[in-house]
Amino acid sequence: MKLIIEQSLDHEDVEITIKCQLIDADLEKLIAQIRLYGFAIMGKKDGAVHPLRPEDIFYFESIDDKTFAYYEQDVYDCSLKLYELEQQLAKADFVRISKSCIMNIAKLSSVRALMNGRFEARLQNGEKLIINRHYVQGFKEKFNF
């Protein structure tokens, strides 16, 4: 792979061109990450609205018809539903792990098998999430497990 960067004050906006023979899985993932560049999800905390960068979010959880975005230490109220987030983040490092949770696999520290076909995911911040057995296959595919 060859990377060419042209920097000039004449350019008004960032333009990315990809030249390739075929798009493989690795390139598809890179394209998804590029598409997330500048993309933000709006989250509320203490009466203020904050732009949340997806790569900084550990997971999303839905509780009592409210969706929350979890950072390493902070929690934000998100106006989007889980299915909307799942659609928007489908090509990124996010995967549905239960009916009420979408996890960022880039924040994953370790995984271990539990009883009844479930898995336990430990995140980089020490939190543990349960991967429901109905979502294990999707997790394995996304994580290349």
What is the Cα–Cα distance from 119 to 139, expressed in whole angstroms? 10
> What CA–CA distance (Å, rounded) separates 10 from 61?
44
At residue 145 the predicted structure's pLDDT band, cuts being 50, 70 and 90, is low
pLDDT band at 38 (very low <50, low <70, confident <90, very high): low
In this prediction, residue 67 carries a pLDDT of 96
- What is the average per-residue pLDDT within 91-108? 92
* For residue 94, pLDDT beyond 80: yes
Separation between Cα atoms, residue 35 and residue 10, nearest integer Å:
23
Q: What is the CATH number of domain 25-143?
A: 2.40.50.1020
